[in-house]
Structure 1
Amino acid sequence: MPVQGAKEKYLVEPGSKVNLKKLETDDRSLYDDGGKEEGKLAMNELLEEMRELQRVLYAENKHRILVVIQAMDTGGKDGCVKSVFPTVDPQGIHVEPFKKPSEEELAHDFLWRVHAKVPRNGQIVVFNRSHYEDIIAVKVKKIYEDKVWKNRYGHVVDFERMLSEEGTTIVKIYLHISKEEQRQRLESRLENPDKHWKFNPDDLKDRALWDDFMVTYEDVLSKTSTKDAPWYVVPADRKWYRNLVVARIMVDTLKKLNMQYPEITWDPSSMKIED
């Protein structure tokens, strides 16, 4: 199977110190069978496997899966979700984008809006951005005083531990792109009128703070990758490889749950469909 060992290679070991400069953004070392076209064929195998695993997840109605995806602007969050989960039954998956908090959300604690969106039994929920924005953006953009974001590290770890102990499997993905790759993707949006809607002038302000974002992401990845809720740093300059790695991580995570279709309490042979 393609990209075996993805969970192990890209896992942020709990307690380890992350240095993003030392982690390749264009790595494809776990897939030596070919390039982009061959990768698409391998991806189809994984998507078929995921479809079956998700059917069992939904039918068993026992486990909950929370997938957190974080990245810099243009990092590929939307593309990753579309590419990794197209075969999943829409009844069993929800994608939750966390944008700027509303007035109602700001009137509560920062996890209030997040807790309402976590998965129930039998569901996969994907956070496209997440509660981590309330540390990362708040710190880098100096929205609140330091003690606010510093306290949130502990709140997030406790929150995720509670979800895990209550039966939620948590997978956190950081899509790791280079500054040069981001430049190319931003330029592509400017050059193509069909992509203008994807360009936000504020992205340039965030790009100017690239180094600050990297330091903050390193801090977040180091302090909040736990046994209950591990982070994976996935190289994301090559979109096809990014998708393969994330799909492999998801398939391996679902397999580990040892799910089974519910046992029936009736005899199929005794059932007769009348005309």
Structure 2
Amino acid sequence: MPREEVLDLLQKYVIPYRVTKRKGFRLKDFDPGDTGGLQMEKAEATELLQAGTAWLAEEQDMLYAQDRWSLLLVFQAMDAAGKDGTIKHVMSGVNPQGCQVFSFKQPSSEEIAHDFMWRYARRLPERGHIGIFNRSYYEEVLVVRVHPELLERQKLPQPLVSKRIWDERLADIAHFEEYAARQGTKILKFFLHVSRQEQEKRFMERLEQPEKNWKFSPSDVRERKFWDEYMHAFEEAIAATASKQAPWFVVPADNKWFSRLLVAAATVEAMVSLDLAYPKVDAAKKKELAAARLALSRER
């Protein structure tokens, strides 16, 4: 199938899950078990994903060579939604030299001493690179919002901790993304939307299968008590920061094969939209290359 047709097919499956308008967004309109009408065997899904990752690798090679644009992929989700596996499978073919992955854990004392965006802004991808945030600055309006005691540790002046702080932080994030986009950073944000039932199933697998025990943390179960609060926080965050230059993708995550295909499709589509190409060699450079070729030929 010609790549133009493949791209049209990718867009067909990506569009229903892309959120660029803030008005009217409701998380309940998205089904975590949705597969976009696709029905396929695991082998077929794997083959399709491999085709997508191969295409992504080609686009990344041109991104690195052109050295103009950068791409930031932001992953947010509840525990066990499959962020790590999605990143691993979708990015399996890219050159590690042009890719940077950051997993943001509990902030250090140095990071707490700065504004809430400081540690994330420092990790934005450089030109020609793909940056991946496994959790991101959105934690500051998700986990911190659900657990406001964490806000106390950030040492903000008390007059600034008002009822509007979450709206203010979301506005700051939206402005930050607008700024980054104007500097040549293409931003894609993925919310891996797993159902509460599927999360429970995956937690049980981690408990019952010895090779998966290391993945389990007692805090995972504690956080399930705040499920509704998290869903509200996610809905508010997506609705407040969705835009054309930094779209959200609400990725159904109950079926891992589909979530990986969707993330790969959205990423390939974004890369193609940049119209990447290898740098053209000008007359002066061609002259240098000819001289180098002549020098090498004389060594024979």
TM-score bucket (shorter structure): over 0.9
TM-score (norm 1): 0.95
Question: Which of 210, 226, 231 does residue 243 from structure 2 map onto?
Answer: 226
CA distance in 2, matches of 1:26, 1:36: 16
Residues 1:20 and 2:27 aligned together: yes
Residues 1:152 and 2:169 aligned together: yes
Residues 1:44 and 2:41 aligned together: no
CA distance in 2, matches of 1:64, 1:42: 25
The Cα shift of 1:195 comes to 1.4
Larger radius of gyration: 2
- Please state whether the residue corresponding to 1:132 is helix, strand or coil: helix
Q: Please name the residue that 2:213 is paired with.
A: 196
Unaligned runs of 5+ in 2: 1-5, 152-160
Q: How many residues align?
A: 274
**1:144-181 deviation per Cα after TM superposition (whole angstroms, max 9, x unaligned):** 35443332011101111110111110000100110000
CA distance in 2, matches of 1:209, 1:5: 35
Indicate if the aligned counterparts of 2:171 and 2:240 stay in contact, CA closer than 8 A. no
Q: How does 1:4-153 map to 2 (within 5 A)?
A: 4-29=11-36, 31-32=38-39, 34-143=40-149, 144=151, 146-153=163-170
CA distance in 2, matches of 1:4, 1:156: 27
Indicate if the aligned counterparts of 1:138 and 1:149 stay in contact, CA closer than 8 A. no
**1:184-231 deviation per Cα after TM superposition (whole angstroms, max 9, x unaligned):** 010111111221211111111111110111111111111110122110
- Please state whether the residue corresponding to 1:121 is helix, strand or coil: coil
CA distance in 2, matches of 1:110, 1:30: 40
The structure where helix makes up a greater share of residues is: 2
Residue type of the alignment partner of 1:29:
G
Residue type of the alignment partner of 2:13:
A
CA distance in 1, matches of 2:277, 2:10: 25
CA distance in 2, matches of 1:250, 1:73: 23
Question: Which of 253, 256, 266 does residue 286 from structure 2 map onto?
Answer: 266
- Please state whether the residue corresponding to 2:137 is helix, strand or coil: coil
CA distance in 2, matches of 1:259, 1:36: 32
CA distance in 1, matches of 2:241, 2:37: 26
The Cα shift of 1:47 comes to 1.0
Q: Please name the residue that 2:156 is paired with.
A: none
CA distance in 2, matches of 1:37, 1:237: 18
Indicate if the aligned counterparts of 1:75 and 1:177 stay in contact, CA closer than 8 A. yes
Unaligned runs of 5+ in 1: none
CA distance in 1, matches of 2:32, 2:100: 28
CA distance in 1, matches of 2:228, 2:84: 23
Q: Percent identity?
A: 37
Question: Which of 217, 227, 240 does residue 210 from structure 1 map onto?
Answer: 227
**1:63-114 deviation per Cα after TM superposition (whole angstroms, max 9, x unaligned):** 0101100000111110110010011000000111011111110000000000
The Cα shift of 1:17 comes to 2.8
Indicate if the aligned counterparts of 2:252 and 2:259 stay in contact, CA closer than 8 A. yes
Of 220-229 and 252-261, deviating more is 220-229
Indicate if the aligned counterparts of 1:97 and 1:128 stay in contact, CA closer than 8 A. yes
Deviating 4+ runs (over 6 angstroms): none
CA distance in 2, matches of 1:170, 1:23: 22
Of 3-12 and 122-131, deviating more is 3-12
Of 263-272 and 85-94, deviating more is 263-272
